[in-house]
Amino acid sequence: MLMNLKERTIGIIGAKRSGKTYFTAKLANKLINDGEKLIIFDTIGELGKRIEKGRLYHIEPSQLEEQAVSFGMILKEYKGKQPIGVNLIDLTRDEIVDFTDLVLITTGKIENRFWVFDEVAEYLNQFYRQSKELERLIRHGGNWKNTFIFNTQRPAYLHKNTFNLIDILIVFRLNWSRDIAVLKDLLSNTGLSDKEVKQEIEIITHQKVGEYRAYQLYLSI
């Protein structure tokens, strides 16, 4: 398990059933047990099943605005140590973006939290609407001692500006050609030579479930 994550941005990418969601949950549970304060956005209803403590509020499309403001106020005032979050499985992509923006506008500045987003491409997709408030939070949240952990099974869909904010990249198995092309660009920012990048991609495309490679921007780890 990786260490020294505080106030950094960790991006986890991998194909479906590669182990990335299990890894994300395992990392979240470790942080919870270490006493860190987590805010969890469970996008497709899978991550929350693996979180050992805390509460995730189920968001209904018919009550989206009301629940967004309510959850934003809860985050703003919450002093507890247990993780808190939302299950967005019933929302469309547009509703996810609307909900997230309204939550973050309501919440305002929050310090010293770990934010966990499952399938972040639903929020920051380069081909569709994006959550401007989430991008702003990730970009500036480190100044408020926040840490960000997010995953996606389709890195080719994730907005390139989001990748530019990643400090630590965790890579599970990838096979789709467009995802591989994105990975190649990312690995070029780790200090690896072209030959080494090619070797890493060969390893990644043949990884078994649960196997991953870890990189830090401009320096392989």
- pLDDT value for 56: 95
- pLDDT value for 145: 93
- pLDDT value for 219: 40
- pLDDT value for 1: 53
Q: What is the pLDDT of residues 71-107, one digit of tens each?
A: 999 999 998 889 999 999 999 999 999 999 999 999 9
Asked if residue 131 has pLDDT above 80, the reply is yes
Q: What is the pLDDT of residues 5-43, one digit of tens each?
A: 888 999 999 999 999 999 999 999 999 999 999 999 999
Which of 24, 46, 16 is CA-nearest to residue 176? 16
Question: DSSP character for 198?
Answer: H
Q: Which two structure tokens, joined as six digits, stand for 169?
A: 């990249």
- pLDDT value for 200: 96
Q: What domains sit in the chain, N to C, each tagged with a CATH number?
A: 9-216 (3.40.50.300)
Q: How confident is the model at residue 221 (pLDDT cuts 50, 70, 90)?
A: very low
Q: How confident is the model at residue 220 (pLDDT cuts 50, 70, 90)?
A: very low
- The whole-number average pLDDT for the span 168-180 is 96
Q: For the chain, what is the mean pLDDT?
A: 93
pLDDT over 70, % of the chain:
96
- The whole-number average pLDDT for the span 188-204 is 92
